[in-house]
Amino acid sequence: MATNLESQILIVGAGVFGLSTAFHLLSRGHKNVTVIDRSPVLPAPDAASTDKNKIVRSSYADPFYTALAREAIASWKNTEEWGDSYHECGVYCAMQGQDSYIDEAYKNDIAHGARVDELPNPEAVRAIFPAGVDVFVPDNARGFLNRDGGWAFASQGVERMMAKVTSLGGKIIPGKAVAELLQSNGKATGVRCADGSVLEADVVVLAIGSWTASTFPGLGLDGQCLATGQTVTFVQLSPEEADRYRECPVYLDFHTGFYIFPPNHENIMKMAIHSGGFVRKIKAADSDVFVSTPRTVVSDGNDGLRIPKSAVQRLRSELARIYPDLAKKPFSGTRLCWYTDSTNDDWVIGAHPDVGNVFMATSGSGHGYKFLPNIGRLVADAIEGKLPPELVKKFAVNRLHEHDATEPEVRLDPPADLILEELCTPEDLLPA
C-alpha cells in the first residue's frame, strides 16, 4: 500500500520492534504514529525486552546481521542518546575444535572492522579473565574476544526509546490489549481493544512479540511467530564477589547455548541457555486453534517465573563447569523469558500476505534487542515500500527456507512442552 506522512499508523506493542519502528517513522516526518500496549505499566513487566541485561554483539555468521549490529553498537556508544544503558565489557565467543558458525562469525567481525582478539589456545582464553576468577578453560579451548560488544541494561534502553518517541510527537498508550483486528474488504481498518474502544488506522503494525500468534489466531502466525519460553536464572553476589567478576566479558558458548553476564549494578549475574525452549499450547480465545501462549509473572504471578527443574539442573551444571565457585551459591531467582521464534531465526518484517494494511514486526528469535537503535528502520522501509527485494524475501512471513550454517542463531534442540508439574521449587534453587 502507499503511505504518506499523514497516514494514521497504529503500532501494536511497545517493545523493541514497536518502539524502534515508531522512532524511525517519526524521524522521517510521519505525523500520526500511535503505539499501544496491553500492559498498564511500561516497559511491560513480562516483555522479553524488560530484563536486567541483553547481549550486544556483532558476531554472526550472516554478514547482514554483523553489519546491522555494528551500526547499532555505534549508536549504543553514544552516551548522550543512551546514557549508561550500554556496557562494553567485550563478548567472548567460545570455540572447541572446528565450528563453521563461529568461524564465519569471526571472519565477518574482522571484515566489518570490529576490534577482535583471536584466542588460539587455552592460555590466550584464560588471559582475558581477571586473575582472581576461577574459570574453566578446556584443553581444546579457543575462540575470540570481540571488544566492540558487551551488554545493555535492557529495560533502561526501552525507557530511553520511549522518551525518544514521545519527544518526536508519537503517542504511547498503555493498558490497551487488542481483542480484534478490524477488517473491511480484505484490509485492516484498525483494532478493537479489550476495553471496547476502537482505534482506526490506515496501517496496523503488529509488534507484540510472543503474544503475536495467540492474539491473532486467525492470521495463522504460529509457525513463523512461535512463542517459546527460554530459561533464565540469577546469582546474587556480595559486593566483594561482584568486584572479582566485574571485569569479566560476556561468556557465550554456542556449543551448549549457555551464556552468562558479568555482574550488573545490583551485583546480580544473569545466565541462560539459548535453546529450543518450551512451548505452551492452549486454545486461543474465540478460536479452535491451539497456539503457544506465554505464561508470565503478569498472567500467573510469581508462579509464572518458575522454570522446569531440568533447566535448573542444566544451568547449575553449566555454571559449575564455567565458574565453579559461583555454582556453590543458591540461585536467587528464575524467569521464563518468552521469545518469538521464526522457523530459521530470521525476523518477520513486512506486509502480511493475506490482509492488506497489516505489517509484521516480530520474531526477534532471541537476537533482536541489540538492534533497538536501528531495527525500526527496516520496518519503516517496509511500510514505505523501500525495503530491498532481498530483504523482503528474507523476512517474509510466508517465506520458504532451508537451514544452513549461516543462520543467525544456533539452536541445539527443538522446543519441548512446558509441563507445570515439572516446574522448579525454591528447594531446587539451592546448590546440591
Q: Which residues pair with 116 in a beta bridge?
A: 146
Question: Nearest-5° angle of CA 342, CA 344, CA 346?
Answer: 70
88 assigned to some structural domain: yes
Across the strands, what pairs with 150?
A: 56
> pLDDT by residue (tens digit) across 8-27?
999 999 999 999 999 999 99
Which residue from 214, 380, 350, 225 is spatially nearest to 291, judged by alpha carbons? 214
Could you give the 3-state DSSP secondary structure of residue 281? strand
Residue 265 domain-assigned?
A: yes
Cell triple for residue 405? 550454517
- Give residue-wise pLDDT tens across range 159-211: 999 999 999 999 999 999 999 999 999 999 999 999 999 999 999 999 999 99
In a domain, 423, yes or no: no
User: What is the model's pTM?
Assistant: 0.96
Cα–Cα distances in angstroms (integers) from residue 56 to residues 88, 173, 238, in the given order? 9, 28, 26
Q: Find out whether 48 and 209 touch, Cβ atoms under 8 Å.
A: yes
Structural domain including 249 reads 8-395
- Residue 13 makes CB contacts below 8 A (sequence gap 6+) with 35, 36, 37, 205, 206, 207, 208, 209, 361, 362
Q: Dihedral through CA 282, CA 379, CA 70, CA 79, nearest 10?
A: -90
Q: Is residue 422 part of a domain?
A: no
Please name the amino acid found at residue 426.
P
Residue 348 lies in a domain: yes
Taking the CB of residue 41, how many other CB atoms lie within 10 A of it? 11
Which pLDDT tens digit goes with each residue over 42-85?
999 999 999 999 999 999 999 999 999 999 999 999 999 999 99
Instruction: Give residue-wise pLDDT tens across range 241-283.
Output: 999 999 999 999 988 899 999 999 999 999 999 999 999 999 8
Enumerate residues 6+ apart whose C-beta is below 8 A from 220: none
Helix (H, G, I), strand (E, B) or coil at 172: strand
Position 407 in a domain: no
In the DSSP assignment, the letter for residue 356 is B
In a domain, residue 142? The reply is: yes
User: Domains in the chain: how many in total?
Assistant: 1
CA 283/CA 280 separation, integer angstroms = 10
Give the pLDDT band (50/70/90) at residue 284. confident
Cell (9 digits) for 266: 545490583
**Closest C-alpha among 195, 207, 201, 179 to residue 24:** 207
Cis peptide before 43 (omega within 30 of 0): yes
Distance CA 95, CA 77 (A): 27
Q: Is residue 288 part of a domain?
A: yes
CA proximity to 157, closest of 15, 260, 36? 15
- Reduced DSSP (H G I as helix, E B as strand, rest coil) percent helix, strand, coil of the chain, to 5: 30, 25, 45
Report the percentage of the chain scoring pLDDT > 90.
Answer: 90
CATH number at residue 291: 3.50.50.60
Per-residue pLDDT for 97 more than 90?
no
Read off the amino acid at residue 406.
T
Rounded-to-integer distance, Cα 217 and Cα 328, Å: 45
Per-residue pLDDT at 286: 73
Q: pLDDT band for 411, please (50, 70, 90 cuts).
A: low
Backbone phi and psi for residue 119, each to the nearest 5 degrees, phi listed first: -120, 90
